[in-house]
Structures are given as C-alpha cells and as structure tokens.
Structure 1
Amino acid sequence: MKIRSFFTAILTALFGIFYLPSANAHALYVFAQYDGQVLSGKSYYSDMAPAAATYFEVFRSGIEEPILTGKTDVLGAFNIAVPDAPNTTLKVVVEGEEGHKVSVVADRTMVSNSSNDNFMLLREDIAHLKDKIYLHDILGGIGYIVGIAGLIAWLNSRKIKQGAK
C-alpha cells in the first residue's frame, strides 16, 4: 500500500510539472547595472514575464533610507539617473505583486561612448539563463528524492534481516 501511494504521489507531481505550468509557483528576479551616472535594469518573474509597474527603491551602502524610488515600465525595465559617489554600492529592492520582494546589488560598469543597449541585452540574456528552471534540474531533484528513499528502504531492510537472525 505504501509503494502504491509513493508512486501515485510521484506521478501526480510529474503531471503537475509537465501539464499544469500555471500551477507552478513563480519568483521575482531583478538585475541592475550602474555606470556612474545611470542605474538601469529589469525585473521579471520566473516565467519570464516582465514585472510591469512594480515599485523599486535604491539604497546606497551605509544608508538605511532609500535615496531614490520609482516604478518599472511595462517591460519591467527601469533607467534612473543617480549622482555618482565614489566607493559606494547601490542596492535595488523591487516589490512585486503577491508579496514578492527581491534585492540585488547593482554591478558597476564602465562608461563608454558606444551604445549601452547591447550590453544591457547581453546582461538580460545571461540573467534569464541563470534563473531559468531546466528539465535536468527537475529530474536531478527527483533522482535525489528516489535515492534517499532507496537508502532509507535499504537501511530498514537491513534492520529487519538482523532482527530475524
């Protein structure tokens, strides 16, 4: 009976993962960069949908109060001018829907004469790849669960065999 319940739970979980994508939980992600003049970035959910019209705050290292606040655009992006202060870091805190909240320290970039849009697109692609959940991650997690269950079953069978002797 226990084995039947175990396999029923596994099949239900697999069905939920592959056939009910809207039932999966989602998280909020953000990336930001600062070139000494402009703080730019983008916030999005784990299903890669933009976190449109979400509020964000900008904190400078060592200061408890936000130095700037704003709202993302319809694509989840933000660009805001921040006066440069040497030897400080900027932290961006985004508060999304349903109580989601995420913070990130903005990466420092060098100011260049060329367009910063290509660099921003590259950073966006890297962030999407980093935050995406892949099938091998799911299968690896299921493998860990089955392996731990097998180890527990093996230890229990050893105890039963030792008790029978």
Structure 2
Amino acid sequence: MPSNRMKKTLRILTALFPLLLSAPHALAHALYVFAQYDGQTVTGKSYYSDMTPAAETYVEVLRHGENQPLITGKTDNRGYFHFPLVVEPKVALKVVVEGEEGHRAAVVADRITATPNTPTQASDESLLLLREDIAQLRDKIYLHDILGGIGYIVGIAGIAAWLSARKLRKGR
C-alpha cells in the first residue's frame, strides 16, 4: 500500500505533467545557418530544426573576432542570402543570423575557390546545394536521437528509484 508521501508526490507530478507539455520551451526549435565565401560573395541559407526556412531574418557578416558588421541584410523567403563583399584573402568571415523569438545562430563561412574551366556561378550554386544537403542531414533530428533522450530519462529515473529503494531498505 503506497504511503502518504508517495501519494502526495504522485499528485504533484500528475498536476505538473500537463504544464510541462504546454510549456513554450517544449515546442522550441533551433536555428541553423551555413555559409560560404568565394572571395566576392557571401552566400548561404538559414533554417530551423524542423527544416522550415528562416525567411526574412536579419543577417550580418563580420570579420571573425570582431563586433563591427561589414554588411547586413535579410534572408529571402526561402532562407537564402547573397551579399557581395570583397575583403582581404586570408580573412575569416563570421555570419550571424537572428531569427524570431530570440533564436540566434553563427557560423564561420567556408572559404571556397573557383575551379578553372567551369562557369563560376553554376559551380557555386551546385556547391551551395551540396552544402545545404550536408547541413540538413547533420542538423536533422533522427529517431535514434529521440530514443537516446528517452533512454537517458528512463536511466536517471531508474537510478533515482534504486537509490530510494536502497534508502528504504536501510531504514528497516
């Protein structure tokens, strides 16, 4: 027969469970960005963890390690951005995207070089599409990630139950 303390704890947890499910942070999603720089243009895409584009979000490009933006702008309706920018060849550029509800993502733009005998714009676009696919595969939430999180929760609950049972046995 459960003790009064156990009944009280169960009532509190039952009352809190709907609140946890309705919490806005439970429905939160992350903002991601990838960017590349070919010496003349900074291009990239910003998107949320559910793979929806971060449309019309604020973007700034700055030298890595500095706080003053070199150029600012917004993403288009599909989350893409293209900014013409010419800086010294060895400078690393940092791209910062600020989305809705305080989401923020930053990345150092990958430096790419044009290959000879190929149209630059076509190769840049195909490289951007390839990088987009890689980034989305890397940032996607997979079933094994969810199951792993559930496993951690069950494991922690198991340890807590074991410690509680051990404490009860010592009390006898």
TM tier relative to shorter chain = 0.7 to 0.9
Query: Structure 2: which amino acid aligns with 1:157?
Result: A
Q: Report the alpha carbon displacement of residue 163 of structure 1 after superposing the two structures with TM.
A: 2.5
Greater mean alpha carbon deviation, residues 51-60 or residues 80-89 = 80-89
Give TM-score scaled by structure 1 length. 0.82
Q: For the Cα contact (< 8 Å) 2:64–2:108, is it kept in 1? A: no
2:153 to 145, 149, 155: 145
1:125 aligns with 2:133: yes
1:109 to 109, 112, 123: 112
Q: Report the alpha carbon displacement of residue 86 of structure 1 after superposing the two structures with TM.
A: 2.7
Root-mean-square deviation over aligned CA pairs: 2.5
**Residues 84 and 90 of structure 1: is their aligned pair in 2 closer, same or farther, counting only changes over 3 Å?**
same
State the alpha-carbon separation in 1 of the partners of residues 10 and 161 from structure 2: 11
Q: For the Cα contact (< 8 Å) 1:60–1:66, is it kept in 2? A: yes
Please state whether the residue corresponding to 1:98 is helix, strand or coil. helix
Query: Structure 1: which amino acid aligns with 2:165?
Result: S
**Residues 76 and 5 of structure 1: is their aligned pair in 2 closer, same or farther, counting only changes over 3 Å?**
same
Q: Report the alpha carbon displacement of residue 78 of structure 1 after superposing the two structures with TM.
A: 0.9
Query: Structure 2: which amino acid aligns with 1:131?
Result: D
After TM superposition, what 4+ stretches of structure 1 lie above 3 angstroms from structure 2? 1-13
1:79 aligns with 2:87: no
Q: Report the alpha carbon displacement of residue 41 of structure 1 after superposing the two structures with TM.
A: 0.1
**Residues 135 and 8 of structure 1: is their aligned pair in 2 closer, same or farther, counting only changes over 3 Å?**
farther
Instruction: Give the count of matched residue pairs.
Output: 156
What aligned pairs does 1:33-112 form with structure 2 within 5 A after superposition? 33-112=36-115
Give TM-score scaled by structure 2 length. 0.79
Query: Structure 1: which amino acid aligns with 2:55?
Result: A
**Is the radius of gyration larger for structure 1 or structure 2?**
2
2:167 to 146, 156, 159: 159
State the alpha-carbon separation in 2 of the partners of residues 9 and 137 from structure 1: 25
Give unmatched runs, 5+ long, in structure 1.
Answer: 17-22
Q: Report the alpha carbon displacement of residue 11 of structure 1 after superposing the two structures with TM.
A: 10
Query: Structure 1: which amino acid aligns with 2:57?
Result: T
Q: Report the alpha carbon displacement of residue 57 of structure 1 after superposing the two structures with TM.
A: 0.7
Q: Report the alpha carbon displacement of residue 7 of structure 1 after superposing the two structures with TM.
A: 8.7
